[in-house]
């Protein structure tokens, strides 16, 4: 399978991101306007009129490009609505990038939004079309809860060590989120709080699961050679890949739940484009899809940050802490932000953008040069996966 660099290199010149939390008094329209205004307002010489085309990612908060065109009062502009499970925000970004890289447009905007808190869906927002009856009928917590026991059996990790590693993911990400005024949950948690939380599915308790929230984010993208016309600190896209799995894992007795093959494939392609040969040493920080605590453990290995069977130990040793060798989810991740589906992928980009520009304050990773944003949708055995490598230098 081939995946090539785009004809034109591209750069992000501005981003905006609302707080992710209970926005009872704001609509999806309001959130989009807030994110877009922050994004455009950070540039002195750009207005919405300068943006040639727009993409909006949302799973349940809109049905067409008018989801964005209406609140922004856009006239005569192409606006495309996309959806791709939990990687919906990433899909908006990916399509916007291709539009600039192809030469079709000079400046584009990618946005993502979701209102979940006051919907009837809460955190279980998928409405599946009629199928052939072979779909696995389980909840997201149930599906992802299978990762932990499978990992233990595959690598000989005892139950106490596995529990400690899952607890460390939650503690680390909530500690990071406590430093972020855009996060939904801004309080560090103890091991006792995590491990004594009410059980949800298998070994997973409430504190092993990401929350439910509302939010929106936006990015403006141009060709790399044009970036310095608008900002002295652009962030460059070095590599990007998206893989949609066939779903065969759920139909196979051999699927072992210790890896997401879609993530492995997407990471390999993105790293090849970016010239990354040793991600464990070359990547400065990463934002990953910690929908559940065991997901982050598995992703550390799928992304090449830890050796197979060693991520649990690396987590406990502090490798992925804010002050560790490769900080992961420096903004607090899904654990601290919740997961408004259409916005999450762009929220990850926003943290990478902020870190690479040196604007992360107390969360700042020193000398950050390369960042990974990884977004996952679906369920173990039937996933879609996005991986991007962003850099501070062209």
Q: Tell me which residues are annotated as active site.
A: 86, 339
> Which three-class secondary structure state does DSSP give residue 250?
helix
User: Looking at the chain, how many residues does it have?
Assistant: 394
Q: Which two tokens stand for residue 202?
A: 């298998």
Nearest CA-CA partner of 235 in 5, 35, 56, 10: 10
Q: Which two tokens stand for residue 237?
A: 């896209």
Burial class for 126, CB neighbours closer than 10 Å (0-12, 13-18, 19+):
middle
Q: Distances in Å between the alpha carbon of 325 and those of 55, 319, 376?
A: 35, 5, 24
In DSSP terms, 292 is beta-bridged to: 209
Burial class for 277, CB neighbours closer than 10 Å (0-12, 13-18, 19+):
exposed
Q: How far apart are the first and last CA of the chain?
A: 26
Bridging pattern class, strands 235-244 and 382-391: antiparallel
Backbone dihedral region for residue 270 (phi beyond 0: left; psi -120 to 50: alpha; all else: beta) = alpha
In DSSP terms, 219 is beta-bridged to: 15, 110
Contact (Cβ atoms closer than 8 angstroms) between residue 223 and residue 100 = yes
Sequential DSSP letters for 93-116: HHHHHHHHHTTS-SEEEEEEEE--
Q: Which two tokens stand for residue 47?
A: 């207005």
Q: Which two tokens stand for residue 318?
A: 């502090």
* CA 121 centroid distance within chain: 21
Q: Distances in Å between the alpha carbon of 191 and those of 46, 81, 171, 371, 382?
A: 47, 41, 7, 29, 32
Nearest CA-CA partner of 56 in 8, 98, 112: 112
**Which residue reads 């984010």 in tokens?**
217
């Amino acid at each position: 399978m081939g995946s090539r660099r785009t004809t034109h290199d591209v750069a992000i010149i501005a981003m905006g991101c609302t707080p992710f939390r209970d926005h009872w008094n704001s609509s999806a329209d309001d959130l989009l306007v807030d994110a877009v205004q922050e994004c455009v307002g950070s540039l002195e010489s750009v207005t919405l009129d300068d943006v040639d085309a727009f993409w909006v990612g949302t799973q349940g908060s809109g049905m067409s490009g008018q989801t964005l065109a209406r609140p922004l009062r856009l006239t005569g502009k192409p606006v495309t609505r996309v959806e791709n499970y939990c990687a919906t925000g990433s899909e908006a970004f990916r399509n916007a990038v291709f539009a600039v890289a192809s030469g079709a447009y000079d400046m584009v905007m990618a946005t993502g939004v979701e209102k979940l808190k006051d919907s009837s869906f809460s955190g279980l927002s998928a409405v599946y079309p009629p199928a052939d009856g072979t779909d696995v009928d389980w909840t997201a917590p149930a599906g992802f809860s299978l990762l932990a026991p499978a990992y233990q059996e595959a690598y000989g990790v005892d139950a106490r060590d596995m529990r400690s590693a899952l607890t460390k993911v939650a503690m680390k990400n909530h500690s990071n989120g406590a430093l972020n005024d855009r996060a939904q949950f801004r309080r560090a948690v103890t091991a006792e709080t995590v491990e004594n939380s009410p059980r949800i599915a298998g070994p997973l308790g409430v504190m092993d699961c990401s929350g439910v929230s509302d939010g929106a984010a936006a990015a403006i993208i141009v060709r790399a050679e044009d970036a310095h016309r608008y900002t002295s600190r652009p962030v460059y896209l070095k590599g990007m890949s998206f893989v949609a799995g066939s779903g065969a894992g759920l139909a196979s007795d051999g699927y072992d739940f210790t890896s997401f093959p879609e993530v492995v494939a997407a990471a390999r392609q993105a790293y090849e484009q970016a010239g990354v040969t040793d991600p464990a040493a070359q990547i400065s920080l990463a934002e990953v899809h910690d929908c559940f605590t065991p997901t982050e453990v598995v992703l550390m290995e799928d992304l090449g940050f830890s050796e197979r069977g060693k991520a649990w130990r690396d987590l406990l040793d502090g490798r992925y802490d804010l002050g560790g060798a490769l900080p992961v989810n420096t903004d607090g991740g899904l654990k601290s932000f919740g997961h408004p589906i259409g916005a999450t992928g762009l929220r990850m980009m926003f943290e990478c953008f902020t870190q690479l520009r040196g604007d992360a304050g107390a969360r700042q990773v020193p000398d950050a040069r390369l960042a990974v944003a990884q977004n996952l949708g679906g369920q173990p055995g039937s996933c879609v996966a996005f991986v991007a490598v962003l850099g501070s230098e062209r």
